[in-house]
Structure 1
Amino acid sequence: MNASIRVTMHTYVLDCPDSRALAEFYASLLGWEVDASGAEYDWVNVLPPEGVSTSFRLAFQQVQNYTAPVWPDGPIPQQAHLDFRVSSLTEATPIALAAGATLHPVQPGENDGWTVFLDPAGHPFCLTD
């Protein structure tokens, strides 16, 4: 079978303890906008600013008894993470920290232009230049 689905929207969804708070973190980090129209279902989207053409968005789903992944080794492994390419890691790092990210103590790519952070819910994400 050679058929495939035609995707018109790509959404990366993160489970978290507070969907609104994590959406606000990523909106602040990326300069995107929070769309809380699904908040009554504990679901909040983060969309690129109006006028930016993309078929990608982030979404945050609030779950009870959320437990953050422990990376690189731990009882709750990371199953996925976000990577963001930036024009300057030196300029982006303080912005990420001011938005609420924390530097992860393990930095395997620090000599290769990769920095690992944790978002406020404990999900790892990377910035690279």
Structure 2
Amino acid sequence: MTVPKTSVLVLDCAEPEALARFYASLLGARTAPAGGDPDLLLVAGPSGTVLGIRRDPDRVPPSWPLPDGPEQPHLRILVEPDALDEAEREAVALGARPLAVDTPTADPAGRTTHRRYADPAGHAFVLAAAGRPPAGARAR
């Protein structure tokens, strides 16, 4: 018999309260303490997504994307293709910092399909177009 499990991506930072507020606002989620660990907050979204934010006063933000290496692990936030511009405005207004990209990826209509950012604590995340295909596109 397999023991029931769940998984949570945990981001470390010096100020978990501020970062939890950032992600709660960005995701339309709520925050709550993680029972038993005073340094861990949980951000729970309406879609069932749970993100942990843990206090680590010694954490140093990564450099991402690395100029000579692959992408590092990152959070990918999916939005409708037509909502990518609005999602970007929300993220930047909340404190996200756009990350330079050498080669943007576009869909058949020429729209950018994903955009990279750093959250206020320096963690990488991507806003990515997902959901229904653009009008006139055929599934393959």
More displaced 10-residue stretch of structure 1: 90-99 or 23-32:
90-99
Q: RMSD between aligned alpha carbons? A: 2.5
Q: 1:108 to 1:22 in 2, by over 3 A?
A: farther
CA distance in 2, matches of 1:119, 1:29: 10
Q: Are 2:54 and 1:61 equivalent residues in the alignment?
A: yes
Q: Does 1:109 align with 2:104?
A: yes
| TM-score normalised by the chain length of structure 2 | 0.74
Alpha carbons of 1:62 and 1:71: their partners in 2 closer, same or farther (altered >3 Å)?
same
Aligned AA for 1:48? Answer: G
The answer to whether residue 42 in structure 2 is matched with residue 10 in structure 1 is: no
Q: Structure 1 residue 44 and structure 2 residue 37: aligned?
A: no
How many angstroms does 1:80 deviate by? Answer: 1.4
Return the TM-score normalized by structure 1.
0.79
How many residues are treated as equivalent by the alignment?
Answer: 120
Summarize the alignment of residues 91-102 of structure 1 with structure 2, pairs less than 5 Å apart.
91-102=86-97
Q: Which amino acid aligns with 1:106?
A: V
Identity %, equivalent residues: 35
Contact 2:65 2:72 (C-alpha < 8 Å) held by counterparts: no
Deviates more, 1:100-109 or 1:28-37: 100-109
Q: Indicate the SS of the match to 1:105.
A: coil
Report the counterpart of residue 26 of structure 1 in structure 2. 23
Q: Return the letter of the residue paired with 1:94.
A: R
Secondary structure class of the residue paired with 1:10: coil
Shift, 1:107, TM fit: 5.2
Following the alignment from structure 1 to structure 2, what is the Cα–Cα distance between the partners of residues 41 and 110?
41
Q: Deviations over 1:1-44 (max 9, x none)?
A: xx86543x221101111111110100000000011355962111
- Structure 2 portions without partners, runs of 5+: 107-111, 130-140
Alpha-carbon separation, structure 2, partners of 1:39 and 1:25: 23
Report which of the two structures shows the higher radius of gyration computed on alpha carbons: 2
Contact 2:119–2:125 (CA under 8 A) maintained in structure 1: yes
Q: Which amino acid aligns with 1:119?
A: D
